[in-house]
Amino acid sequence: MALTGLQIYKLLPQTNCKECGHPTCLAFAMKLAAKQAELALCPYVTESAKAQLDAASAPPIRLVAVSCNGSKVEAGNETVLFRHEKTFYHKPGLFIRVEDTLGAEGIKTKVSEADSYLVDYVGIKLGVDGFAVEAVSGDGAKFAEAVGAVRAASKKPLILIAPTPEVMAEGVKAASGTQPLLCAADESNWQKMAEIAKSAKAPLAVKAESLDKLAGLTEEIKKAGVEDIVLDPLAYGYGDSLKTLTQIRRLALKKNFRALGYPIIAFPSNGAGVDETVLAAQHIAKYAGFIVLNTFDPATLYPLLVLRQNIYTDPQKPIQVQPGLYEINSPTADSPLMVTTNFSITYFAVNNEVEGSGWPAWLLVADAEGMSVLTAWAAGKFDADRIAKAVKSTGAEGKINHKRLILPGQVAVLSGELEESLAGWEIMVGPKEAVDIPNYLKVMWGEKAGSR
């Protein structure tokens, strides 16, 4: 938990020497508390005070990464319980479980299919983040073969799940050159698992049936030299996993309980009588860092990916597209020119309707700070001046041989002002809803064949 200015002041030398550039130690402490100054500016702070201040400024939930061939999944570093308080930073990684008993061909098929799955959601590419290879066989050689088969089919990060340190060691060898998450150390084997994690420089998951035991284990493992730890609280039902994961997040953020200040791994298919997709959705919202799915099914994965994208979007920053002039269906100089804002959902709604209609068109996307048409207009971010500037700055005039601009129907009120800003232009008022654009183009812009 962050220290207050007064708590920081008590750790400073209190001599008011001014060498830090502040008139008093208290003034410097206040700046430190507001994160507007660096502790290094005070040359007289003692080592023990420095250690306490450093510890207090460390993130309450450690950032842990797994990586492979340049792809990385990071979890942790979260600072709030509720997204509306600020934002959530690191999307939980979605991993597909692959059992080593599946055989080389079975692994290849499952991994290749999931690996190549990529969907476009408002211009963002969404897909699975990696694979969790599980040594169901309990055989080190078989586990290593399975890890090799997964790596041959995908370059995405790995989680290695093995029942014993001996089997885990074989998997780690087969995953050399990557940074997998090792899953999991428990009360009976943590010393050996920690040794393996330390020499592989890999993060280590820790499992225990109570939070007390889990906290005890993380402290021991940290003392053994493993800093990157992931928690598996073995909670599998809807209610108990929600309660347990929330308790861990609260203890880390509100009580600054370092022993549980790590990301959490969740297995939504491990509980009896639960629906994997429903529980995975719960884990996305509260509070998993890594989620292992048993099955790969685009029909259930897609809603999870979209949910995750929305929850992990900064509520203060709308999803935006780059302002500019976009071509739809290979437009010519005769094609219509339409204008909209750079709010992603608005852009894609318009783009999809025009694209689906088959009409070639130019779409001018004005910088409205990521707001939708009406909101931007009300906020003064989508006015005649901005639209006129967008027409000029994008070189739209040079691409068309007419001077007609189609304005969204919701801001018809701007048409007169826009005709003044764009001298010699005819401002046409388009439909209010994107769904009506194809019919509008057909009726108002003439027959398709004639305008191409």
CA–chain centroid gap for 171, Å, is 28
**Residue type, position 217, single letter:** L
Nearest to 41 by CA among 55, 57, 25, 52: 25
Nearer CB in complex with ligand SF4: 19/240: 19
**Burial of 423 (C-beta count, 10 Å sphere; 0-12/13-18/19+):** exposed
Instruction: Quickly list DSSP for 381-423.
Output: SSSHHHHHHHHHHTTHHHH-SS-EEEEPGGGGGGHHHHHHHST
Shortest distance, position 27 Cβ to ligand SF4, whole Å: 8
Stretch that binds ligand SF4, among 21-29, 131-139, 202-210, 348-356 (CB under 6 A): 21-29
Residue number, 42 or 376, with CB nearest to ligand SF4: 42
Residue with Cβ nearer ligand SF4 (13 or 315):
13
DSSP state letter for 320: B
Which residue, 31 or 156, has its beta carbon nearer to ligand SF4? Answer: 31
What span, in angstroms and rounded, lies between the C-alpha atoms of 370 and 344? 7
Smallest distance, ligand SF4 to C-beta of residue 26, A: 9
Q: Which is nearer to ligand SF4, 25 or 363 (CB)?
A: 25
User: Judged by CB under 6 A, does residue 160 bind ligand SF4?
Assistant: no
Edge-to-edge strands, sheet with 130-134: 229-232, 204-207, 181-185, 158-161, 130-134, 93-99, 290-293, 265-266
Q: Is 292 in the site for ligand SF4 (CB under 6 A)?
A: no
Distance CA 287, CA 292 (A): 14
358 binding ligand SF4? (CB under 6 A): no
Tokens of 158: 């790995």
Exactly one of 3, 8, 11, 12 binds ligand SF4 (CB under 6 A); that residue is: 12
Residue 10 lies near ligand SF4 (rule: CB under 6 A): no
Interface map 33-62 toward ligand SF4 (x if CB under 6 A): ---------x-x------------------
Q: Applying CB under 6 A, which of residues 22, 62, 283, 386 lies at the interface with ligand SF4? A: 22
What tokens does 102 get?
Answer: 């599946």
Comparing CB distances to ligand SF4, the nearer of 28 and 425 is 28
* 20 near ligand SF4, rule: CB under 6 A: yes
CA dihedral angle for residue 262, residue 263, residue 269, residue 274, rounded to 10 degrees: 80
Is 25 one of the binding residues for ligand SF4 (CB under 6 A)? yes
Q: Residue numbers of the site for ligand SF4 (CB under 6 A)?
A: 12-13, 15-20, 22, 25, 28, 42, 44
